[in-house]
Amino acid sequence: MNNFIFENGTKVYFGKRCVQEFLPHLVQKYGKTVMLAYGGGSIQKNGIYEEVTELLQKAGKEIVEFSGIMANPTYKKVLEGAKLAKEKDVSLILAVGGGSVMDCCKAISLAARCEEDVWERFWAKSGVIDFEPLPLGVIVTVAGTGSEMNGGAVITNEALKIKTGKDYPQCNAQFALMDPTYTFSVPKKQMISGSFDILSHIMETYFSEPDEDNVSDDISEALMKNVIKNLRTAIVNPEDYTARSNLMWDSTMAENRIIKLGKKMDFECHQIEHQLGAYTNCNHGCGLAVIHPVYYRHICQSGLEKFARFARNVWGISAEGKTKEELAIAGIEALADFIKEIGLPTTLRELGMKDKSMLEEIANSCNLSLGSYKKMTHEEILEILNECF
C-alpha cells in the first residue's frame, strides 16, 4: 500500500432514536444560539423538524433557522448562511438533511469565520485553514454522499459555472447523528440515486492504483456487494430497517477516508458529472449512472486486471471460457444492466438534455483526474459525453 496519514474527527452516533438520546447532551458544550439548517422543507412534513426543534428548546437553545438549501448548493447560498451566522452570533450549526445540506453548512462554517473570499481561498484552489471554523453537527436524513464523516463540500459557483469540491479535515462535523429510520420517508427515486452515488464513490476509489493486493480494495469489494444487495431489498421494501441501515453505513464507509487510504483514486466520473450539474442542475446520482459505464468502456483496457477482478468478485461472473478482456467487459455490462434494473437513466436524453450544443463547453470545463487508469483529455471527455447522449 502507498503511504498515508489518516485523520477523522467526527464522532458518530448510529441507530434508532440516537437523536433523542444524544442531541440534548451534545449541544450543551456550545453557546446559546444554534443555526438549524435544512433544505426544502421535507423535514417539516415527516416530523423530524418538530422533533429536533423540541429537543433544542428543551436544551435551552435559541434557534436561528436557515432553510432552502438546494440540491446543488451555491456559493451565493453559502454567503447567505455565513452572513446570518455572523449577525446572530451563532455558536453551532446543526445541519439536518442529506449531502447538499451538510456540504453547504461546511462551507458556511468556514465563511462565517473568514473575512476573505472563501471561494477564491478554498474552492478555486486548495487552501490552508489557519483558523477554527464555526462548529458543525449533522443529523443525516438521506444516505448517499457520506458527507457526515468527512470535511468535503461540493459547491456550485453559478456565475463561473463551476461545481467543485474540496475536503478539509478541519471542516469535519464535530458529531453525526445517524438514525436509519430518518431515511424511510425519502422518495424512492432519491433513495435509489443516492445509493448509486454510494456505489460510485466506492468504484471511483477502487478503479485506481495500486492494483497489487491491498486492504482498501478488499473492503471496497465487500461494500459494493453490500450496496447492490441492500439496494435491491430497499427497492422492494423501503422500510426494511436492515437494508436501510446497511445503506446508511455503506455511505459513510465510502467517504470517511478509510477505503481511500493508500489509493490514488480516480473521480473523473465525478468531475464530469459536477460540470454537467453546473450547466444543467441535474440529479447527481442520475448523472453518475449515465456516465460510469461509458467512461469505464473507455478506460477498461488500461486497467484490465482490476476490471476483471470487479467482474469476478463483485458481480460473481465466472472467468471460465473468457479472456481477461471479455471478463472485464462483462463486469462493466453487469454494472450497466444493474443501472437499468434499478430504474436510473442511461442516457443524457433520459436525464432531460434536449441537444448537444453545450457538451463541448462542459467537456472543456472538466478537471482531469491524475488518478485515472488512462490519461484523459478534454477531447476524449467530449467523446464520452457524446456517447452518453
> Measuring CA to CA, which residue among 343, 288, 222 is closest to residue 230?
222
Q: Give the separation between CA 336 and CA 313, rounded to whole angstroms.
A: 17
Q: Is residue 128 part of a domain?
A: yes
Q: Is residue 3 part of a domain?
A: no
CB 221 within 8 A of CB 206: yes
Residue 244: give its domain's CATH number: 1.20.1090.10
More confident position, 46 or 5: 46
CB 344 within 8 A of CB 233: no
DSSP 88: T
Q: What is the pLDDT, as a whole number, of residue 345? A: 97
Residues linked to residue 153 through DSSP beta bridges, in sequence order? 166
Q: Give the separation between CA 113 and CA 125, rounded to whole angstroms.
A: 19
DSSP notation for 160-193: TTEEEEEE-GGGS-SEEEE-GGGGTTS-HHHHHH
Q: Give the separation between CA 204 and CA 200, rounded to whole angstroms.
A: 6
Q: What is the pLDDT, as a whole number, of residue 2? A: 81
Domain range enclosing 119:
11-183
| Phi and psi at residue 56, to the nearest 5° | -65, -40
User: Where do the DSSP E strands lie in the chain?
Assistant: 11-14, 33-37, 62-66, 92-97, 136-140, 152-157, 162-167, 175-178
Q: Is residue 17 part of a domain?
A: yes
Q: Tell me, yes or no, whether 162 and 31 share the same domain.
A: yes
Contacts of residue 207, defined as CB under 8 A and 6 or more positions apart, other chains included, come to: 266, 296, 299, 303, 306, 307, 310, 373
Domain boundary among 137, 154, 183: 183
Q: What is the pLDDT, as a whole number, of residue 357? A: 93
Q: Tell me, yes or no, whether 269 and 358 share the same domain.
A: yes
Q: Tell me, yes or no, whether 240 and 319 share the same domain.
A: yes
Q: Express each pLDDT in 85-141 by its tens digit.
A: 999 999 999 999 999 999 999 999 999 999 999 999 999 999 999 999 999 999 999
Q: What is the pLDDT, as a whole number, of residue 5? A: 84
Domain boundary among 135, 150, 183: 183
Q: Tell me, yes or no, whether 175 and 192 share the same domain.
A: no
**CA 89 to the chain's CA centroid:** 30
**CB-neighbour burial class of residue 165 (10 A; exposed 0-12, middle 13-18, buried 19+):** middle
Q: Tell me, yes or no, whether 99 and 211 share the same domain.
A: no
Percent of the chain at pLDDT exceeding 90: 96
Residues linked to residue 94 through DSSP beta bridges, in sequence order? 36, 137
Q: Tell me, yes or no, whether 273 and 153 share the same domain.
A: no
Q: Strand 175-178's sheet: what is its strand order?
A: 11-14, 175-178, 136-140, 92-97, 33-37, 62-66
The band of 3, judged by pLDDT with boundaries at 50, 70 and 90, is confident
Lookup result for grid cell 472563501: 118
Q: Give the separation between CA 73 and CA 85, rounded to whole angstroms.
A: 17
Domain boundary among 183, 216, 240: 183
**CB-neighbour burial class of residue 177 (10 A; exposed 0-12, middle 13-18, buried 19+):** buried
> Measuring CA to CA, which residue among 166, 201, 191, 210 is closest to residue 306?
210
* pTM over 0.85, yes/no: yes
Q: Give the separation between CA 76 and CA 78, rounded to whole angstroms.
A: 5
Q: Tell me, yes or no, whether 194 and 179 share the same domain.
A: no
Q: Tell me, yes or no, whether 173 and 286 share the same domain.
A: no
Q: Tell me, yes or no, whether 194 and 145 share the same domain.
A: no
More confident position, 1 or 131: 131
Q: Tell me, yes or no, whether 20 and 163 share the same domain.
A: yes
Q: What is the pLDDT, as a whole number, of residue 99? A: 95
Q: Is residue 85 part of a domain?
A: yes
DSSP notation for 258-322: TTTTT-----HHHHHHHHHHHHH---HHHHHHHHHHHHHHHHGGGGHHHHHHHHHHTT----TT-
Q: Tell me, yes or no, whether 157 and 219 share the same domain.
A: no
Region 163-168 average pLDDT = 94
Q: Tell me, yes or no, whether 222 and 257 share the same domain.
A: yes
Cα Rg, the chain, nearest whole Å: 21
Q: Is residue 261 part of a domain?
A: yes
Q: Is residue 4 part of a domain?
A: no
Residue 69 has, within 13 A of its CA and on its CB side, a CA count of 30
Q: Give the separation between CA 293 and CA 201, rounded to whole angstroms.
A: 14
Q: Is residue 1 part of a domain?
A: no
Residue 158: give its domain's CATH number: 3.40.50.1970
- Number of domains into which the chain is organized: 2
Q: Is residue 98 part of a domain?
A: yes
